[in-house]
Chain A
Amino acid sequence: MTAPSYSDQQLKSYLDGSFSEEEALVFEDALSRSPELEQRLLALEPLSPLACEAFAAVPSDERLRGLLPSEATQKSPRRVAQLSLVACLAGAIGFALAVFMAPSNDLGWREQIAVYQALYVPGTIASIEHSESDLDLQFVRGSNALGREVRPDMVLGLDGFELRRAQVLQSAQQKIVQIVFAGPEGEPFAFCIVALDGTAQSTDLEFEQLAGVPTAHWVEGDYGYMLVGRVAPHLMRNAAQTLRATF
């Protein structure tokens, strides 16, 4: 069967929306089989010149080039990722050895949490699934341990994170509630709350790398708060700002 031929006037009618539904279907079928017809139709698109003008200016070449990772910093992302992982693990293991060989009260609560979290990998949390009622119960236990209320709704709505569980941990000096999330790529990420001894001074939100893991932490009242995990910096920043507004 020969494909129907279309005049420019007919193509304009199609673009105008003057074709009946049936005519449009026949035309679009012909279009899918004819690159030449497609090119003719594209050339007649009335919006193309207007849209091109409207989007004429883009950020400067220099600024755009800045978005492309340089060869020096990005020789091979796969290799970089492998090296980063090795470096992080080496750092974490080195730090962990130092921790386990040192008296535990030599470490601050932040370092202890970071060392603990440094051992988390995506597989650690991959299979953790809890029902809403389980989570409620975990948060009640956490609240009892801390002596302050923490509910799931207080930590939900973090951009890019999915709540997985809450558990109570105990260091030499403090009780810690660790609330575990999965990041966009399944990365383990935690929000930890520590009951301090009442002499701690409030501190502002600070971002710091501890035991090879990015963290964000602050102290407010009798509690220390910390976000910890290998996630994208903007995710860490957003989560920290959101939680800082609540806690």
Chain B
Amino acid sequence: MPCYAYKGIQLRAPIYSMVDQKKIDRSVRSELENGLKPLWRFAYALSGRADLADDLVQSTCLRALDKANQADLSRALLPWFMTICRSIWLNETRAQAIRRAQSLDTTPDFELISKEAGVETNILSRQVYTMLMALPEAQRSLAVLVFVEGFSYTEAAQALDVPLGTVMSRLHAVRNKMKVAVDGRQKDGMTG
């Protein structure tokens, strides 16, 4: 909430603040609307399940709108949404999901693979998708942020609240595990 300084005394201006708050609320809502796809993919990468991803996105939207006054509108809000999403996952939904499913081993159902892709691409996509979803949760969510959503390493580190070094070592582990798929693609001459 902005404050207006007058002769060294902080005076709050409630009317202006209300107007500002409405503006902030609208901006956050608009950013959420634009970020629903990446947010859902991230929620899916965290939870490994479409229904949980829906719940997570819904809770994230509510939380973000509720905390709109904390949003830094000078920056893209998607990383902030991801941070909220992850926090809800870790603090609220995860334990419940684990207890419900006994584990978070995911059974990929390929629902995220584009139906428009060619047959060969689709087979490879399935392989990549299966391998990505079989990664441990921390690596999987990071891989989606960096490889799918285009987050920089630094942004991913901030969103996941881990040091950059951790991001790099986790990505290194992901690259090692995914090497088979990458090599397969290179052999098939499918890389540009």
In this complex, the member of B55, B100, B182 whose beta carbon has the largest number of chain A beta carbons within 10 angstroms is: B182
Cβ B62 vs Cβ A77 within 8 A: yes
Contacts of A122 in B (CB 8 A): none
Least CB distance from B114 to A in Å reads: 3
Contact of A68 with B by CB under 8 A: yes
Contacts of B178 in A (CB 8 A): 47, 50
Cβ B147 vs Cβ A52 within 8 A: yes
Contacts of B3 in A (CB 8 A): none
Partner of B185, one of A39, A50, A61, A76: A50
CA distance A117 to B29 in the complex (A): 36
Contacts of B112 in A (CB 8 A): 54-58
CA distance A38 to B151 in the complex (A): 11
Contact of B136 with A by CB under 8 A: no
Cβ B144 vs Cβ A55 within 8 A: yes
Partner of A31, one of B25, B91, B164, B182: B164
Contact of A49 with B by CB under 8 A: yes
Least CB distance from B77 to A in Å reads: 14
Interface size of A by Cβ–Cβ distance < 8 Å? 46
Least CB distance from B103 to A in Å reads: 15
CB-based A-B contact count at 8 angstroms: 143
Least CB distance from B128 to A in Å reads: 4
Contact of A160 with B by CB under 8 A: yes
Cβ B121 vs Cβ A46 within 8 A: no
Contacts of B55 in A (CB 8 A): 234
Q: Mark A16-46, 1 if CB is under 8 A from B, else 0.
A: 1100000010001001100100110110011
With contact pairs A38-B153, A59-B40 given, residues A28 and B66 touching in the complex (Cβ less than 8 Å): no
Least CB distance from A146 to B in Å reads: 27
Contacts of A49 in B (CB 8 A): 191-192
Interface of B is mostly: helix
Contact of B165 with A by CB under 8 A: yes
Cβ A78 vs Cβ B37 within 8 A: no
Contacts of A59 in B (CB 8 A): 40, 50
Contact of A172 with B by CB under 8 A: no
CA distance A76 to B188 in the complex (A): 53
Cβ B114 vs Cβ A57 within 8 A: yes
Cβ A65 vs Cβ B37 within 8 A: no
Contact of A209 with B by CB under 8 A: no
Cβ B172 vs Cβ A67 within 8 A: no
Contacts of B61 in A (CB 8 A): 67-69
Cβ B65 vs Cβ A54 within 8 A: no
Contact of A48 with B by CB under 8 A: yes
With contact pairs A15-B175, A46-B182, A49-B191 given, residues A64 and B114 touching in the complex (Cβ less than 8 Å): no
Contact of A94 with B by CB under 8 A: no
CA distance A21 to B124 in the complex (A): 32
Contacts of B124 in A (CB 8 A): 50, 53
Q: Mark B153-183, 1 if CB is under 8 A from A, else 0.
A: 1100000000011001000101110100110
Contacts of B138 in A (CB 8 A): none
CA distance A245 to B83 in the complex (A): 37
With contact pairs A47-B175, A78-B66, A184-B92 given, residues A68 and B32 touching in the complex (Cβ less than 8 Å): yes
Q: A47-B128, A65-B33 are in contact. List 6 more A-B contacts (CB 8 A).
A: A31-B164, A35-B152, A61-B36, A68-B29, A68-B36, A68-B61
Q: Sorted from nearest, which 10 A-B pairs have the closest CB atoms?
A: A56-B114, A51-B147, A54-B129, A77-B66, A159-B96, A64-B36, A54-B128, A54-B125, A48-B147, A50-B128
Question: Interface on A for B, CB 8 Å cutoff?
Answer: 15-17, 24, 28, 31-32, 35, 38-39, 41-42, 45-59, 61, 64-65, 67-69, 71, 74, 76-78, 81, 157, 159-160, 184, 234-235, 238
